[in-house]
Amino acid sequence: MKPEGYIAVGEILGPHGVHGEVKVRPLTDFPERFYRLETVRVRLGGEPRPYTVEQCRVLQGHTIIIRFVGVSDREAAATLRGGLIEIPPEEVVPLPEGHYYVFQLVGLPVYTVEGELLGRLKDVLSTGANDVYVVADDRTNKEILLPAIREVIKEVDLDGEKMIIDPLPGLLE
């Protein structure tokens, strides 16, 4: 399944200093990716705008400081507050086999191993022990909660755009 939109990797919290830098909260498990960014889109309200990254560094643990070309003072940086830093889907960090980004999974039709369509994956909930997949059936307006464990999730076929599950006894009742 190919994502159609850009992927948000950071949220601009506000200006940092007086030279046009912005503080960014990473929205990625790979904050080191910011050091490799060259051109990004910043979505703030309406249409996103492209920006070239001039400089990037880490401040106090996980906060990223970015300076964009053309953003030269605190006032210009302040106008970017609340903006989402987006990258094209082909620039995401590759994951190991059997691991997927949420954007790759949401929207996939979910079938049982017998071929019964249960609905589409609507959301992924992080619970600590394991993720939980929320599957919505538009025909019945019901939601099914599936533990994202190997015993249940038998196949994720991104190219074929489907997920196949083998529900544990009582899971679909």
pLDDT at 149: 92
The reply to whether 86 and 110 lie within a common domain is no
CB 22 within 8 A of CB 66: yes
Domain that holds residue 111: 102-165
C-alpha torsion angle, residues 112, 115, 116, 121 (rounded to 10): 50
How far, in Å, CA of 96 to CA of 116, rounded? 29
Does residue 97 belong to any structural domain of this protein? no
Q: Which residue has the higher pLDDT, 51 or 33?
A: 51
| Residue-wise burial string across 69-97, b where 16 or more C-beta atoms lie within 10 A, e elsewhere | eebeebeebeebeebbbbbeeebbeeeee
pLDDT at 4: 57
The reply to whether 82 and 124 lie within a common domain is no
Per the confidence metrics, is the pTM higher than 0.85? no
User: What pLDDT digit, counting tens, does each position of 115-155 carry?
Assistant: 999 999 999 998 888 899 999 987 888 999 999 999 999 99
Does residue 44 belong to any structural domain of this protein? yes
Average of pLDDT values for 31-50?
Answer: 90
Q: Distances from the Cα of 30 to the Cαs of 1, 9, 26, 58, in angstroms?
A: 22, 9, 8, 13
What letter represents residue 165's amino acid? I
